[in-house]
């Protein structure tokens, strides 16, 4: 079992505490030295025949590990989480709510088969197990990573308040499961594999990580005041009750974007021209506590 430790995650928390939570386990520990290093280390492990990898850090570290695991090797890889970073959005869906749960999962080696989202863009492909977001969520995510990550789970909330002054609803053209194209102004478009984002925000209530479908969550135009009043609803998942919000469950979404835009993928923000997001059913095993 190869363990990838991001020592910078959680403001250095992962680097300080990883040894404590890994003590006594039969693991091969590798420490990352910068962005995308975890992906490279996992890819090398896959090419060498390894199949089990553990991300020690936050959502971004898990994103890198998942992409390394799915971009090389053969067979279905297994991924585990030791959440010592800023966010732990996906962990909530598999019962890994903290390092204690993660330790039990690593000891038990019990796995659950889950879906993955495949993102096709002009320069290749990426994989997401949590959420892919365009619009306001990506803008707030980018600002969080640049300025507010040191505030932990509150960082995204701070970023939302700052980005509120630039709230807009750009026109997005998309189609669901090959149906007719839809062109509409949207504050936010989120394509979700799991329920949570930003730690405790329930973006897609009821989303299942093993149903072979993604949850498309859309939010139409609204004023800054209305958005500010509605924002707390996302923590309970009741934002979907808003008249300009909607949820569709599907297997794939095609996008017709005019050019690269900021896209938030599992907490990481990339500038991409996405063309398609589709479900890969049962593409990954994840370690979870019994």
pLDDT tens digit sequence for 205-229: 999 999 999 999 999 999 999 999 9
Using CA atoms, how far apart are residues 70 and 75, in angstroms rounded to an integer? 9
- Collapsing DSSP to helix, strand or coil, 62 comes out as helix
What radius of gyration do the chain's Cα atoms show?
Answer: 18
Q: Which residues does 9 contact at the CB level (< 8 Å), separation at least 6? A: 15, 56, 57, 58, 60, 61, 84, 85, 86
Q: 2-115 belongs to which CATH class?
A: alpha beta
Cite the residue boundaries of each domain of the chain with CATH code 2.60.200.40.
128-281
Q: Is the pLDDT of residue 153 over 70?
A: no
**Dist CA 283 CA 128 (whole Å):** 11
DSSP secondary structure letters along 133-197: EEEHHHHHHHHIIIIIGGGTTHHHHHHHHHHGGG----EEEEEETT---EEEE-SEEEEESSSEE
User: Which of the pair, 139 or 40, is modelled with greater confidence?
Assistant: 40
CB 143 within 8 A of CB 188: no
User: CATH number of 128-281: 3.30.750.24, 3.40.50.11610, 3.40.50.300, 2.60.200.40?
Assistant: 2.60.200.40
Residue 1, pLDDT > 90, answer yes
State how far the Cα of 114 lies from the Cα of 116, in Å rounded to an integer. Answer: 7
Check pLDDT > 70 for residue 16: yes
Mean pLDDT, the chain, whole residue set:
94
Average pLDDT of the segment spanning 4-26: 94
- Whether 155 has a pLDDT exceeding 90, the answer reads no
Q: How confident is the model at residue 144 (pLDDT cuts 50, 70, 90)?
A: confident
């Amino acid at each position: 079992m190869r363990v990838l430790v991001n020592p910078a995650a959680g403001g250095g928390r992962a680097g300080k505490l990883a040894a404590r939570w890994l003590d006594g386990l039969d693991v091969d520990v590798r420490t990352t030295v910068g962005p995308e290093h975890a992906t490279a280390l996992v890819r090398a492990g896959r090419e060498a025949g390894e199949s089990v990898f553990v991300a020690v850090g936050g959502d971004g570290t898990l994103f890198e590990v998942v992409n390394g695991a799915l971009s090389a090797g053969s067979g279905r890889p297994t991924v585990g989480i030791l959440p010592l970073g800023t966010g732990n959005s996906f962990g909530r869906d598999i019962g890994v709510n903290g390092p204690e749960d993660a330790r039990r999962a690593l000891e038990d080696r019990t796995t659950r088969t889950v879906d993955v989202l495949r993102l096709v863009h002009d320069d290749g492909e990426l994989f997401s197990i949590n959420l892919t977001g365009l619009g306001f969520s990506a803008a707030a995510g980018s600002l969080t990573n640049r300025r507010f990550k040191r505030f932990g789970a509150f960082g995204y909330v701070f970023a939302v308040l700052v980005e509120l002054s630039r709230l807009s609803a750009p026109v997005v053209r998309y189609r669901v499961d090959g149906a007719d194209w839809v062109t509409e102004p949207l504050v936010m478009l989120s394509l979700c594999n799991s329920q949570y984002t930003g730690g405790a925000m329930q973006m897609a209530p009821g989303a299942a990580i093993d149903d072979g479908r993604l949850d498309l969550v859309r939010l139409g135009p609204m004023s800054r005041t209305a958005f500010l009043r509605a924002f707390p609803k996302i923590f309970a998942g009741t934002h979907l009750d808003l008249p300009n919000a909607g949820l569709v469950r599907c297997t794939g979404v095609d996008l017709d974007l005019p050019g690269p835009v900021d896209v938030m993928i599992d907490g990481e923000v990339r500038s991409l021209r996405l063309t398609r997001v589709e479900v890969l059913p049962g593409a990954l095993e994840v370690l979870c506590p019994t």
